[in-house]
Structure 1
Amino acid sequence: MKTRIPEILPEMLDEVVLTATDRIKLRIGSPAAFPDELESIAVDVACAIHNRTFYEGIKSENADTFSLSFVDDLLKEYESDFKRYLESEEQAENENRGKVRFL
């Protein structure tokens, strides 16, 4: 995230990353460790959260040629990615089901 927004303060960085990862974990139903496969989405969401600072709650605003509006649900555009991730996790879980191993 420091690459995308070099001027971000460390406290703000920690806060937006925590918020983004918490929201993603809740969305995928994974309260445990954050999956490595979803880190790039967390960065995108954290940047979007940071960019909304001081504009939180604005749905639409126009001033001459400048227009500003925000998406209601920052995670909505990643729903297909979350679905594929969950499907791959379920598939990996099911690969060993029904197999007997003798040690």
Structure 2
Amino acid sequence: MKTVDPQDVNYLAFIKVQNVTSHPSSHQVSTIVGSTIGSFVLLLVVAIGIITYVVHKQKPDDEMKEEYFDQFPGMPTMFSYEELKTATEDFTKKLGEG
């Protein structure tokens, strides 16, 4: 059996170290600025899309509410613009006072 003397063995180690500079390069700055602006624009587009969807979805609901509005007793009668224009003879005749 052979024994190994620790002083006879040479150890060699390689460590990979990233080159770190104190100031970011112009490429790094442009990447950060571009990513930030791109993220902001994407967030803005998504927010506008959600708002547009919500507004368009609510419009039919409001119209449906108006259609059922006249089914309740004691509620005033709703007239279209054309009906009012005809009844008032092109808005020259007063219908009544309240």
Q: TM-score of the superposition, structure 2-length normalised?
A: 0.28
Larger radius of gyration: 2
* Bigger RCO of structures 1 and 2 (CA < 8 A, at least 6 apart): 1
> Structure 1 or 2: larger strand share?
1
